[in-house]
A and B are shown apart, each in its own frame.
Chain A
Amino acid sequence: MAATHTLRAKHRRSALRTLAFLSPWLIGFAVFFAYPMISTVYFSFMHYDGFRAPTWSGTKNWTYVFEHYPFFWPALRNTLWLVVIMVTLRVLFGLGIGMLITKIKTGTGVFRTLFYLPYLAPPVAATMAFAFLLNPGTGPVDSFLEQAGIPAPGWFNDPDWSKPALTLMFLWGVGDLMVIFMAALLDVPREQYEAAELDGASAWQRFRYVTLPTISPIIMFAVVTGVIAAMQCYTQPLVAGKVASGVIQGAGTMFEPGYPEHSTLTLPQLVYNLGFQRFDYGSACVVALVLFALSMAFTALLMRRRGGLVQAGD
């Protein structure tokens, strides 16, 4: 009996010690995840403007966002476009630049610095610089294209070109991925390349069967973080749209999301628009939950695909 009691006390002490060590995380989880998560779900079913007490509205906010809010579907399409096209191009471009620099014999430091520097530019400044460069009326890019006899696009002023223009800007700031890929590429064991060469593998085969399997966890990291960043994309499209539209945001200026023709509108912009400009917190929570669900879905999908990309033991 006494032995059982001692054992129970030991287990209890052990459990308490474990909880004590876990408590920083548990508190953080409760405050920064559980509470906001439950609140978001709760407010998505409430009519709440931030001033008056919230009242139950059932599925009204959900119906409003999906059926009546004119910006939701364009924003969803734009966000998905950025997730699929921009992330893919960023990963390919980052990998390409990384590979190129690892092959260079001299001046590697200079090239590394040159490619990394744009990543350090503040997002607003970078966007304004690109809006200036790509201005269809006075920008040097279009002037050059016109002089070369190439039809100059409207870039941020043209709904067909605004997302490609944004993508160009994100490719310009690909320095973070380049550094990560360079580190991964330099980590690939040289002897594997030598063995492949002895077996008569071509450059493509060496890349496909040696490089790619080794760096696949890094590619997965780049894709997952890229997808999350693309879904949070807010500042650059907003600034680009504002600058290109000519509207200087200030008191008295009406908010005009997504210029031109909703083409730079993203879901995080809608959360801000609904929550902090229209003060319709319920609908803002609905859009936030859609973003959450999308993020879960993409991450889960990528984790399923991870098996095909990442080698056993990674």
Chain B
Amino acid sequence: MPARIPEVVRKAAFALTASTALLLSTTACTGQSEPQAGDDASKEQTITFWHAWSAPNEVKAVKSLVAGFEKAHPAIHVNVVGNMTDDKINQALRAGGSKAPDVISSFTTNNVGRFCSSGALVDLDPFFEKAHIDPAATFPKAMNEYTQYDGDRCAAPLLGDAYGLYYNKTAFAKAGVKSPPKTWSEFAADARKLTIARGDTYEQLGFMPNYHGWETTTEHYMGQFSPTWFSSAGKSTIAADPAVADAFTLQKKLVDDLGGFRKLERFRAGLGDEWGPKHPFQTGQVAMQLDGEWRLGMATEAEPGFEIGVAPLPVPDDRVDEYGKGYITGTIAGIAATSKKQNAAWELLKYMTTDTAAVVAFSNAIHNVPSTLAALKSPDLTYDPRFKTFLDIAADPNSTTSPASVNGGVYLTTIQQLGYDYESGKVTDLKAGLKKAAAQIDTDIAQAK
């Protein structure tokens, strides 16, 4: 007869097994590979391209772009995979394998620093040199900046995004506002005039200032204040640069003036989502909207029943001469370090990001800002006259972007978190909050290095 297992052993085994179930759910396998570039791009082959676009017209535009490439390079076939999030892209770049992408594109520039510093995407400088293309002379300044980190150009811009101000012309006329505001003071006054209360909520809100108002992120507000972000030694300067405090103060004043955080949050909770037809600007629930150039096409298609106006975002009162600038970001594209077809991948990347006709056609189809200087000036560029505002913002030398960091957009998340805490009243001492956030950013960067 088998001996009974001692009680203590049984209990320990049970506890261990139960705990293991938990641990296993949180353990990951890892892999890596060395970059290779010894392939022959003239040979018959298929490469894989992952992108993040998902709307039917966007998917069609990507297909058309790739078809143009395949026509120009008959030996290279492209397997296109769309609707990819950054999480999936990151994991595929890490794991590699036969199904992993050779070329990727991502909607955010936040990950460029990590892509470059980790070696996930190959350095494109040798490819550009071999092709006799000078990136600095090819891409607009801000786009040229956000596609590299610490001297490593691991990405190229694939169309850009410029942020501006959308306004409801009909509501403006009703409120007696004659033109879009140029300074934040004018903006605050107009936002109040355009706000119509209805009981505890709003019939129409002049502007949704809360940081959860989708594109109203801290970095988009701050772009108008031209902060420095980091010192030459790589330390956070948000506590020392008055531009950051000014941006926070302005937003908080807007929140307080327009009804207070809780009332605004309650209103926001009932609004339609950012990418749906019930977007609050399109429904007329908010009269002004900080947004990217893509909103023009989306809002027009929604047939909102009012006239849509477009202008650059306001600037601080003491920087009126810089009116016309905006925050710039965009889609980036790169070649996976795990790709065994890097020369063929480069041919696709080069076509998509530097061929003027291809960039112009893609921009026309997607309604994003072209990402080369030649394409920005191309006569083939067709657009709604209002879209010119975004082309001008992209070309404005005072326009800003947020720099790449070794840990991606973690520093932006930290600043955004301070924004949430400050607008809600959880943090009242802004100076102390900025110091704490700067220290956190430096610690996070040290941890990632």
Tell me the A residues contacting B by CB distance below 8 Å. 32-33, 36-37, 39-40, 48-53, 60-61, 64, 68, 70, 135-138, 154, 157, 224, 228, 231-232, 244-256, 259, 261, 268, 271, 275-281, 283-285, 287-289, 291-292, 295-296, 299-300, 303
The complex places the Cα of A259 from the Cα of B268 at a distance, in Å, of: 14
B231 at the A interface (CB under 8 A): no
CB atoms of A246 and B271 under 8 A apart: yes
CB atoms of A228 and B268 under 8 A apart: no
Residues A228 and B18 in contact in the complex (CB < 8 Å), given A249-B85, A252-B107: yes
Within 8 Å CB of A299, what residues of B?
14-15, 18-19
Contact of B269 among A244, A249, A276, A281 (CB under 8 A): A244
The complex places the Cα of A300 from the Cα of B19 at a distance, in Å, of: 10
CB atoms of A279 and B118 under 8 A apart: yes
CB atoms of A52 and B18 under 8 A apart: no
Mask for B106-121, Cβ within 8 A of A = 1, else 0?
Answer: 1110100010001110
Within 8 Å CB of A247, what residues of B?
212, 214, 274
Residues A251 and B426 in contact in the complex (CB < 8 Å), given A232-B25, A280-B447, A299-B14: no
Most buried by B among A70, A138, A284: A70
Contact of B19 among A32, A255, A268, A292 (CB under 8 A): A292
Smallest CB gap from A285: residue in B: B27
The complex places the Cα of A36 from the Cα of B25 at a distance, in Å, of: 10
Residues A281 and B28 in contact in the complex (CB < 8 Å), given A50-B94, A291-B22, A300-B11: yes
Smallest CB gap from A50: residue in B: B94
CB atoms of A138 and B265 under 8 A apart: no
Shortest Cβ gap from A242 to chain B (Å): 11
Residues A292 and B23 in contact in the complex (CB < 8 Å), given A251-B106, A278-B448, A279-B90: yes
B424 at the A interface (CB under 8 A): yes
Shortest Cβ gap from A301 to chain B (Å): 9
The complex places the Cα of A113 from the Cα of B16 at a distance, in Å, of: 36
Contact of B410 among A36, A138, A278, A289 (CB under 8 A): A278
Within 8 Å CB of B337, what residues of A?
51
The interface size of chain B toward A, counting residues with CB under 8 Å, comes to 69
Of B182-190, B386-394, B412-420, the stretch lying at the interface with chain A is B412-420
CB atoms of B107 and A137 under 8 A apart: no
CB atoms of A251 and B84 under 8 A apart: yes
Within 8 Å CB of B118, what residues of A?
49-52, 279
Residues A252 and B27 in contact in the complex (CB < 8 Å), given A137-B266, A295-B18, A299-B15: no
Smallest CB gap from A245: residue in B: B212
Within 8 Å CB of A49, what residues of B?
114, 118, 448
B45 at the A interface (CB under 8 A): no
Within 8 Å CB of B214, what residues of A?
246-247
B440 at the A interface (CB under 8 A): yes
B52 at the A interface (CB under 8 A): yes
Residues A251 and B85 in contact in the complex (CB < 8 Å), given A37-B20, A275-B28: yes
CB atoms of A288 and B23 under 8 A apart: yes
The complex places the Cα of A279 from the Cα of B120 at a distance, in Å, of: 12
Shortest Cβ gap from B11 to chain A (Å): 5
CB atoms of B25 and A278 under 8 A apart: no
Interface residues in B247-280 by Cβ distance below 8 A to A read 262, 265-271, 273-275
The complex places the Cα of A279 from the Cα of B52 at a distance, in Å, of: 20
Within 8 Å CB of B265, what residues of A?
154, 157
Residues A246 and B274 in contact in the complex (CB < 8 Å), given A251-B52, A299-B19: yes
Interface residues in B335-389 by Cβ distance below 8 A to A read 337
Contact of B15 among A61, A157, A275, A300 (CB under 8 A): A300
Within 8 Å CB of A295, what residues of B?
18-19, 22-23
Instruction: Knowing that A261-B420, A299-B15 touch, tell me 8 more A-B residue pairs with CB under 8 angstroms.
Output: A52-B32, A137-B270, A248-B274, A250-B85, A268-B26, A296-B15, A299-B14, A299-B18
The complex places the Cα of A37 from the Cα of B87 at a distance, in Å, of: 25
Shortest Cβ gap from A162 to chain B (Å): 12
Within 8 Å CB of A300, what residues of B?
11, 15
Contact of A138 among B262, B270, B426 (CB under 8 A): B270
Within 8 Å CB of B232, what residues of A?
none
B21 at the A interface (CB under 8 A): yes
Interface contacts (Cβ under 8 Å), in number, total: 173
Interface residues in B1-58 by Cβ distance below 8 A to A read 11, 14-16, 18-28, 30, 32, 52
Smallest CB gap from B84: residue in A: A251
B164 at the A interface (CB under 8 A): no
The complex places the Cα of A278 from the Cα of B448 at a distance, in Å, of: 8
Mask for B83-109, Cβ within 8 A of A = 1, else 0?
Answer: 011110111011000000000001110
B428 at the A interface (CB under 8 A): no
Interface pairs (30), CB distance under 8 Å: A36-B27, A60-B447, A68-B447, A135-B269, A136-B269, A137-B268, A137-B270, A157-B265, A157-B269, A245-B212, A246-B268, A250-B52, A251-B52, A252-B107, A254-B108, A254-B409, A254-B413, A259-B212, A261-B424, A275-B28, A277-B90, A279-B94, A280-B448, A288-B23, A291-B23, A292-B19, A295-B22, A296-B15, A299-B18, A300-B15
The complex places the Cα of A278 from the Cα of B93 at a distance, in Å, of: 14
CB atoms of A51 and B412 under 8 A apart: no
Within 8 Å CB of A244, what residues of B?
269
CB atoms of B413 and A231 under 8 A apart: no
Residues A40 and B85 in contact in the complex (CB < 8 Å), given A248-B275, A254-B409: no
Shortest Cβ gap from A235 to chain B (Å): 12
The complex places the Cα of A283 from the Cα of B28 at a distance, in Å, of: 13
The complex places the Cα of A173 from the Cα of B82 at a distance, in Å, of: 35
Smallest CB gap from B424: residue in A: A261
The complex places the Cα of A68 from the Cα of B410 at a distance, in Å, of: 14
B324 at the A interface (CB under 8 A): no
The complex places the Cα of A254 from the Cα of B32 at a distance, in Å, of: 25
CB atoms of B271 and A137 under 8 A apart: yes
Mask for B399-417, Cβ within 8 A of A = 1, else 0?
Answer: 0000000011110110011
Smallest CB gap from B110: residue in A: A254
Within 8 Å CB of A157, what residues of B?
265-266, 269
Shortest Cβ gap from B83 to chain A (Å): 9
CB atoms of A278 and B26 under 8 A apart: no
CB atoms of A278 and B408 under 8 A apart: yes
The complex places the Cα of A249 from the Cα of B86 at a distance, in Å, of: 10
Contact of A137 among B91, B269, B410, B416 (CB under 8 A): B269
CB atoms of A276 and B22 under 8 A apart: no
CB atoms of B30 and A296 under 8 A apart: no
The complex places the Cα of A278 from the Cα of B111 at a distance, in Å, of: 10
The complex places the Cα of A285 from the Cα of B408 at a distance, in Å, of: 20
